[in-house]
Chains A and B, each alone.
Chain A
Amino acid sequence: MAVLEIRNLCKSFGGIVVADQIDLDLKAHGVLGLIGPNGAGKTSLFNLICGVVPPDAGSITLDGLSMEGQPIHERARLGLARTWQTLRLFPSLSVIDNLMLGPRDYSADRLIDVFLRPTYIAQREREARQRAEYILERTGLIAIKDSPVMDITYGQQKLVGVARALMNEARCLLLDEPMAGVEGQTYALIQKVVRDLAESGVAICVVEHNVAFIKDLCDEGVFMFAGKVLARGSVDQLIADPHLTELYFGT
């Protein structure tokens, strides 16, 4: 059964159609690669799923629950996590503090709890810190865990974004160009992290222009163009299609 189901999703900005009757399923244990030329509507699709942009029509369900009209944070609470193409880290926090906000545990978020259950909150903090350190370890960022995020390189910032999304033990994870600007050596590392996550039952969707990366990572690919899903199949199949190749790689 699909974790995330998108049916007949439509959205346009003026004359620009970014989602044209999109139907898409994200399955547990799977990594779906989303490719397509610039401006195809990939980021917009993520924005629609997350509630950043309201759709013109269509429905999105997560684990069978409709997400219509839910605000962003409610969707995240249901088990949706994403990274941003434009980073969106918290510049006034250090790397580890950026991650510490990630866990999908909101029981201590109410101000009243700060007064009433201090020990509980302290315990939560410890757990979150352990988890953050574990994830930083796995993504190779542990050495810079206390640096301000503004002082680390672009490539590292990208990884912090991915790591922050990993903190949320989400049902469905959306990665928007996680590798853009990241050095080649890190590819294997991230691929392993993402694959492990998929194996643990998470549905993952990755947007990437680095086809080699997508090919190694994804079970299946989707090709988008001008807001439409043009094709779905294994990444090799997509690349083999001469029409898609022309659109995406040029001739």
Chain B
Amino acid sequence: MDYLYSILILIGLFIILASSFDLVIGHCGLISIAHPIFYAIGAYVSAMLAKHNIMPIPLAMLSGGVVAFVASALVAVPALRVSGDYLLIASIGFQLGLIELAKHIHEIGGAGGLTNIPSFLIRDYGRESYVVLVLVLAGLTVLFIKWLTQGPYGRMMAAMRDDELAFSMLGRNAIWVKVSVFGIGSGIAGIAGGLYAHYFRFLEPDQFGLLQSSAVLTMVVVGGLRTAWGPVIGALVLQLMPQMITFFNLPPSVLGPLQGLIFTGLVLVFMFKRPQGLLAAPVIWTGKAPEKRGA
């Protein structure tokens, strides 16, 4: 059953990651692909705090989120002043730079990775409890982001994405909006990192590189940018598909490439069938249903 649980947990974690990434890259239009580094920061911080018994695990996870939140400001404040594609490269620099740095820090396991991270819940309540925890948090994340982006703040993000200058001319501080959203998204990713660390109990810097970035980004985009359920579907499909392909019983000599070929081929088919994503966002921003937002 471990197999099923670990898949469910990974799906839950990727739902959290993809949704929060969608908040940053889709709703706020911030082209950064460094999302996994905040996941990593959350994971490492939480793991280290718990490993050295500095605080109980739930608190450690929260602290991971907070540290990721703060770290995001380090990228955001200088880089967002220039916005657009420059954020992209600054974020890549930040991501890969931190990964390199982590490889040189012995205390957190260096390049060899951090082992023996304490586990959480499993010993006392069984693996099911962890699955429930992750899935509940994933659900909450999705609902939270849906709620946030359909409210007035969502409208602000949409306008800022469209035309920053006109947005500022209405007296609204674009940088501040960006930094806040980037922070929230990264903070959520940080908490997800903590959840990852205490279940899988091994962390390695290279796990959080560009491969991970492109995996999450694919989930968001294939699922549907700027939709509440798109990232969820993306995470489900892209997480389950490769698992299903392993049941095909392919001959071992071509197993690896063929699995990859089938997987990417299927994704390409999806992309051609639904060029706006599996779920397409409405053409214009629409808040909550009008009857609700009235009196």
Contacts and interface: CB of A to CB of B under 8 A. Distances in A.
Q: Tell me if chain B binds chain A.
A: yes
Interface in A23-57: 50, 52
Contacts of A50: 169
A168 interface: yes
A209 interface: no
B156 A109 contact: yes
Contact of A109 (B151, B163, B169, B173): B173
Per CB-CB distance, the 6 closest pairs between chain A and chain B, nearest first, are A76-B171, A88-B166, A111-B180, A72-B168, A90-B162, A90-B159
B293 A91 contact: no
A125 B285 contact: no
Contacts of A111: 153, 177, 180-181, 184
Contacts of A71: 168
Contacts of A109: 156, 172-173, 176-177
A187 interface: no
Contacts of A91: 162, 284
A101 B180 contact: no
Interface string A88-106: 1111111001101110101
B158 interface: yes
Contact of B169 (A76, A92, A108, A110): A76
A233 B52 CA distance: 79
Interface string A132-172: 00000000000000001000000000000000100010000
A88 B163 contact: yes
Interface in B113-166: 148, 151-153, 155-156, 158-159, 161-163, 165-166
B166 A77 contact: no
B152 A93 contact: no
Nearest to B290: A146
Contacts of A88: 163, 165-166
A104 B171 contact: yes
B159 A110 contact: no
Contacts of A168: 170-171
Given A92-B162, A92-B285, A73 B168 contact: yes
Counting chain A CB atoms within 10 Å of each CB, the highest count among B156, B169, B174, B184 belongs to B169
B105 interface: no
Contact of B151 (A93, A102, A110, A121): A121
A243 interface: no
A82 interface: yes
A109 B181 CA distance: 12
A100 B155 contact: yes
Given A90-B163, A93-B285, A148-B283, A125 B169 contact: no
Given A108-B152, A114-B151, A148-B283, A93 B173 contact: no
A205 to B, nearest CB: 15
Interface string A50-84: 10100000000000000000011100110001101
Contacts of B287: 97
A8 B283 CA distance: 47
Nearest to A84: B166
A90 B166 contact: yes
A192 interface: no
B177 to A, nearest CB: 8
A90 B174 CA distance: 14
19 contacts: A73-B173, A76-B168, A76-B170, A76-B171, A88-B163, A88-B166, A91-B284, A92-B283, A93-B159, A97-B155, A101-B159, A101-B170, A109-B177, A114-B151, A124-B152, A125-B152, A126-B295, A164-B170, A168-B170
B184 A92 contact: no
A77 B176 CA distance: 15
Contacts of B152: 100, 108, 114, 121, 124-125
B263 interface: no
B202 interface: no
Interface in B237-295: 283-287, 293-295
Nearest to A167: B170
B199 interface: no
A114 B155 contact: no
B94 interface: no
Interface in B220-246: none
